[in-house]
Structures are given as structure tokens and as C-alpha cells.
Homo-oligomer: A and B are copies of this chain.
């Protein structure tokens, strides 16, 4: 069994990253769970959940404000942006929800924090189902960013992606094994009082529970039939 490491975990409050936090608590020593408030419509839904999971697990939680993103960047995901499109996540329209270089920014900031805290590694819940419409989810991006973080820090900080070979349904099963209270995780990009059930992230969440054969504890505003995935 590998030696436990001091790790910093990126936790948005979504089902993947909350599962990654539980995994990190099981496998390593968690120096901090870090979240980012960047002015997304759903930040106010997900960030309190991230804080609550960290508190329950006895892990320090740090929420860093990146307000310049909403002030200066363009994306429908942001408070100042247009409406979130409905339909399957892979659809072309979901490109409107891309926040330019978001993963690059979050990983860079988390790397600086990890170096400041003496951590050896970062944990991100990147997975095999991450979407090619997001350039900063591509494998070529992740490998280059991992090299930049390793080369650009004294500690040679390592990027851990424990779920990179899993799809989202496998993460649901891993979360069930780890006792993740999925009810207290947030996916919906629209960001209301309950999950809308219709946006790309809600569709993906619903599909993941069905494919995993795990009861979905989420309350959705709409349980209308799931759209078919677009053909390639």
C-alpha cells in the first residue's frame, strides 16, 4: 500500500469532488479542501455543501474568491452570463457554459496553496467522462498542467487523478462504498432551490445514478424523460 501523502483536494461541492474528498480522507492526510467562488450561478448552492462535507470529515476548508472571473470573463455559467442551455451535456450548446481555462486557474491557485502548506500532492476529481468540449478537461491539457505544477514548485507537487479511469457511474459506486451522502452534493448549473433536472449537468447526474444502479436521492424540479445522447 502506498505511503499516505499530505494532499490538497479541489472540492466544488459536486458529486465527483465530494467523493474525491472522501477518497482522500481514506487514502491520505488532507491538508486542506479548497473551493473557489468565481461568480458561477450555482456557487451559492455548492460552496456551503463543500464546507459542510469538510467540517463533517474534520478537514480544513478554504474558499478562495476568484471574483475577477465573473467581472472579466465570458460564460453562460457566470452570474452575469445568459441562460444555461437545456439538454444533453455533450451537445454543442453546452459550449456556452465553458469558463475559459477554469481548470488551469483552479489548479494553479491550488498548487500555490499546496506549496504554501507543505503538501506533496493535489487531488482533482477529473474522470473518464469529462467532456472534450471543455479544452481544459482534455488529457493533453491535464498532462501538461501536471508537468507545469511539478516543475514550477520546490516540492515537485504531484497531480493525483484517482478517478481518471472511471466514468461517472463508477464514481457513484465508489461514493457509495465510501459512504458519501450524495443528497448533499450539488450538480445543477442553473442554481435554484432544487436541481432543475434539465440542464446538461442534471442530465448527466440522473444518468449516472441509473447506470450505477444506485437510488438517486436528488430532488429534481423536472423528472421528464432523459434526452438521448447526440450521435458522434
Contacts and interface: CB of A to CB of B under 8 A. Distances in A.
B115 A100 contact: yes
Given A65-B67, A100-B112, A112-B104, A145 B152 contact: yes
Contacts of A136: 152-153
A104 B100 contact: no
A215 interface: no
Interface residues of A, number: 41
A135 interface: yes
B104 A152 contact: yes
Interface string A85-116: 00000000000001111111101110111011
Interface in A169-199: none
A231 interface: no
A43 B91 CA distance: 44
Interface in A101-155: 101-105, 107-109, 111-113, 115-116, 135-136, 138, 140-141, 144-145, 147-154
Contact of A112 (B105, B111, B113, B147): B105
A141 B152 contact: yes
Contacts of A62: 72
Contacts of A66: 68
B148 A135 contact: no
A151 B148 CA distance: 13
A74 interface: yes
Contacts of A101: 108, 111-112, 115, 149, 152-153
Contacts of A108: 101, 104-105, 107-109
Contacts of A154: 98, 135
B64 A68 contact: yes
Contacts of A144: 144-145, 147-148, 150-152
In the A-B complex, the 7 residue pairs with the smallest Cβ-Cβ separation, listed nearest first, are A100-B115, A144-B147, A101-B112, A136-B152, A141-B152, A108-B108, A144-B148
6 contacts: A73-B113, A100-B113, A100-B116, A140-B151, A144-B147, A145-B152
